Amino acid sequence: MTGAALESAKGAGLPDALREPWSELPRQQEAATLGMWLFLMSEMLFFGAVFMAFSFTRALDGEAFARAARETALWYGASNTLILVTSSLTITLAIRAAGAADNTLATRLLAVTALLGLAFLVVKGFEYRDDLDHHLYPGADFALGQNAALIFWSFYWIMTGVHAIHLAIGIGLVTRLAWLMGRGRLSFASPQLEVTSLYWHLVDAFWVVLFPVLYVAGRG
Give dist(CA 177, CA 159) in Å, integer: 27
Give min distance, CB of 90 to other proteins, in A: 9
Contact indicator for 143, 135 with CB cutoff of 8 Å: yes
Neighbours of 183 (CB within 10 A): 9
Q: For residue 26, say if its preceding peptide bond is cis, omega within 30 degrees of 0.
A: no
Contact segment (CB under 8 A) with other proteins among 115-123, 127-135, 168-176, 189-197 equals 189-197
Count of residues that interact with other proteins, criterion CB under 8 A: 92
Q: Give, as ranges, the residues between 147 and 166 that touch other proteins (CB under 8 A).
A: 147-151, 154-155, 158, 162
Which one of 1, 115, 119, 173 is in contact with other proteins (CB under 8 A)?
A: 1
- Closest to other proteins by CB, 132 vs 209, is 209
Number of neighbours of residue 57 by Cβ within 10 angstroms = 17
Residues 106-135 that bind other proteins (CB under 8 A): none
* Dihedral over alpha carbons 215, 154, 66, 124 (to 10 degrees): -20
Residue 215, interface with other proteins (CB under 8 A)? Answer: yes
Shortest distance, CB of residue 56 to other proteins, whole angstroms?
Answer: 5
Of 3, 7, 16, 100, the residue at the interface with other proteins (CB under 8 A) is 100
Which of 15, 118, 119, 201 forms a contact with other proteins (CB under 8 A)?
A: 201
Stated length of the chain = 220
The answer to whether the CB of 144 falls within 8 A of the CB of 104 is no
Q: What is the largest CA-CA distance in the chain?
A: 67
CB of 67 to other proteins, least distance (A): 12
- Residue 82 interacts with other proteins (CB under 8 A): yes or no: yes
